[in-house]
Amino acid sequence: RRGEMAKSTQLIDNEVFRAFATYTAIVLLKMMLMSLITAYFRITRKAFVNPEDTASFGKGESAKKYLRTDADVERVRRGHLNDLENIVPFVGIGLLYALSGPELSTALLHFRIFTGARILHTFAYLIPLPQPSRGLSWAVGYATTFSMAYKVLKTAWLL
């Protein structure tokens, strides 16, 4: 039993992997939060896309008027899609990076910068802050993932 546990927690005992697990969980939870914010705006703005979602507002025309797009809902949805486009590469490349044997301090630097940049990006998108806030926070996260990909390819390269 204990031997099995030890085996199963092997990776999680590695400090770089623990850091990766922590930041990945945080950044994925942040992404999941976008679903709740979308739902919040859909309900408060009464802007839905599926007819079955407006059934509680009555039948026919009275419900149909809530099948509409809303600028705030669309803004959150764009932020959510941007998260998917950027956090998916971070999680995939970050996992390989964490297994490529980087220094803990270097790894922490990458994970912290990426996570900070994506949190800033969300605020910049949702408030919204004037440009280039959103553009810069996006670029910093992008460059961080690129830097990890470089380390992965340098370490693992087998084409």
How far apart, in whole angstroms, are the C-alpha atoms of residue 125 and residue 1?
Answer: 49
43 binds a second copy (CB under 8 A): no
143 binds a second copy (CB under 8 A): no
Shortest distance, position 26 Cβ to a second copy, whole Å? 8
Q: Which phi and psi angles does 27 have, rounded to 5°?
A: -70, -30
- Tokens 């970050």, located at residue: 94
34 binds a second copy (CB under 8 A): yes
Number of other CB atoms surrounding residue 66 within 10 Å: 19
The C-alpha angle with vertex 13 and arms to 9 and 17, in degrees rounded to 5, equals 105
56 binds a second copy (CB under 8 A): yes
Residue pair 105/85 in contact by the 8 Å Cβ criterion = no
Among 12, 40, 62, 68, binds a second copy (CB under 8 A): 12
63 binds a second copy (CB under 8 A): no
Among 41, 86, 137, 144, binds a second copy (CB under 8 A): 86
**Nearer residue to a second copy within complex by CB, 60 or 131:** 131
Q: Element (H or E) spanning 158, and its range?
A: none
List residues near a second copy by CB under 8 A. Answer: 4-5, 7-12, 14-19, 21-26, 28-29, 31-32, 34-35, 49-50, 52-53, 55-56, 75, 78, 80-81, 84-89, 91-93, 95-96, 99-101, 128-131, 134, 142, 145-146, 149, 152-153, 155-159
